[in-house]
Amino acid sequence: MAARGWREALVVLAGGAVVIAASQVSSTGRTGTDEAARDAVIGARPDYAPWAEPVRHNTPQQEQGLFVLQGAIGVATLAMAVWALRRGRGSDASQ
Amino acid sequence: MHIMEGYLPASHAVAWTVAAAPFLVHSAQRVRREMERDPAARMRLAASGAFALLLTSLKLPSVAGSSSHPTGTGLGAVLSGPSAMPVLAALVLGFQAVLLAHGGLTTLGANIVSLGVVGPWVAWGTWRGVSAMGASPMIAVGLASAVADLATYAMTALQLALAFPQAVGGVPAALAKFSALFGVTQVPLALMEGVFAALVWRALGARRGVALATGKP
């Protein structure tokens, strides 16, 4: 059962890496809904001025890198949880 | 799902922050209690948070040259219970607000309400309802995740409509406009999210499904 946990965790890790890479490639040049919503607000209320600024201003490359970092942390943690939960259940079953 | 920094009037930002606060406090208490009571709950929470972290990092292409983020909170709502999700959503949204300049600190309360409260509770209700009708756990989790994704964006549309009503037609007209804007892009992504959630549910080893869930909201 422990080996099975490793296998499933590796599948999650590999699948997650593929999805992260594919999302970075395929979303290039597309308009995000967050930006579309912002534009709709500006269209509806041209006089509205945002009263706060983002903490950081990233270049597109920095933003892309940080999204990849976020996804990598997520997929690594998820793979670890898959392994631990399967291993735990395997131990329970063997007792 | 992310209302950008400064894109809610100050009064609305404060109101949504106040609305999110009790959910956050209850969520923190629930998470702490569960982790003390059940060691396996830590891994369920880790899986719940990690799935949300992963999915909100994805910008997926959709129809008409648009792209958007899935939400990832539906699976967590089933795994850890919806009341655990506000804290996990706050961590994800905080990461994105501070490091990625997506969302914002002034709009954090509003974004927590949509991503961490509305989506997860809708997912929980859908999961319970679909399961009660005899659907397999994978189908139930997939549907719950897809519906939660749409509910999250519907809530964001409502928040924006309340803040920026149309000159003609007021809040309902604005709600229709923002819903249409999100809906076109989000429906295909919600379906994708449902598939992802069902696959991860399977990877977690939930053959009978409910064995993994806490059974409590």
Which B positions 134-193 lie with beta carbon below 8 A of chain A? 153, 156, 160, 163-164, 166-167, 174, 177-178, 181-182, 185-186
SS3 B68: strand
Picking from B43, B55, B100, the nearest residue to A84 by CB comes out as B43
The mean of the pLDDT values for chain B is 91
A78 within 8 A of B61, measured Cβ to Cβ: no
Dist. CA B113–CA B196, nearest whole Å: 23
State how far the Cα of B118 lies from the Cα of B121, in Å rounded to an integer: 5
- Mutate: best of B12, B35, B45, B54, partner A, most A CBs <10 A: B54
Question: For the residues of A43-74, what is the DSSP string, one character each?
Answer: HH-TT---S---S----HHHHHHHHHHHHHHH
Does the beta-carbon distance from A37 to B164 stay under 8 Å? no
For residue B59, is pLDDT > 90?
no
| Mean pLDDT of the B13-36 span | 95
Where residue A90 falls among pLDDT bands split at 50, 70, 90? low
**DSSP-assigned states of every residue in B131-158:** HHTT--HHHHHHHHHHHHHHHHHHHHHH
pLDDT, tens only, A21-60? 988 888 777 778 888 888 888 888 889 999 999 988 999 8
ipTM above 0.85, yes or no: yes
Q: Write down the pLDDT at residue A56.
A: 87
Of chain A residues 65-94, which have a CB less than 8 A from chain B?
66-68, 70-71, 73-78, 80-82, 84-86, 88-89
Residue B42 burial class via C-beta count within 10 angstroms: exposed 0-12, middle 13-18, buried 19 and up: middle
Q: Does B87 touch chain A (CB under 8 A)?
A: no
| Token duo for residue B75 | 């699976």
Mutation target to probe the A interface, by most A beta carbons within 10 A, among B56, B57, B185, B196 is B57
pLDDT higher than 80, residue B214: no
State the smallest CA–CA distance between residue A19 and chain B in angstroms: 8
Q: Which residues contact A37 (CB under 8 A, 6 or more apart)?
A: B3, B4, B7, B156, B160, B178, B181, B182
